[in-house]
Amino acid sequence: SVPSPSGSVPGAAAPFRPIFNDFGPPSMGYVQAMKPPGSQGSQSTYTDLLSVIEEMGKEIRPTYAGSKSAMERLKRGIIHARALVRECLAETERNART
């Protein structure tokens, strides 16, 4: 059997799995198609980033009020924004080399 994350429950068979990860671009509740490199400019990625940040701003107050669903949406938004920032940085580096 696999030990539990706390280590205090003998016989627990559920392995620890993180709720969130950084593999691939997460979404704010909608599925976004992956675009091939060069299909749209960095303006589109930057615009996507701004819209994700704007959506995240709407979740701040409900999160402070104790809304668990708003907190989960905010977490997904942060992960999505991180992925978009990485895309923007990669695009900037590609443009700097040319």
d(CA 17, CA 27): 20
Residue 73 has pLDDT above 50, yes or no: yes
Residue 78 has pLDDT above 90, yes or no: yes
Place of tokens 């909608």: 30
Query: pTM for the full model?
Result: 0.57
Residue bearing the bigger pLDDT, 87 or 31: 87
Quick one: how many helices (H) and strands (E) in the chain?
2, 0
Q: How confident is the model at residue 59 (pLDDT cuts 50, 70, 90)?
A: very high
Q: What is the pLDDT of residue 80?
A: 96
Place of tokens 């924004």: 81
Reading the block at residue 70, the tokens are 């708003």
Residue 87 has pLDDT above 80, yes or no: yes
* Number of other residues whose CB lies within 10 A of the CB of residue 80: 21
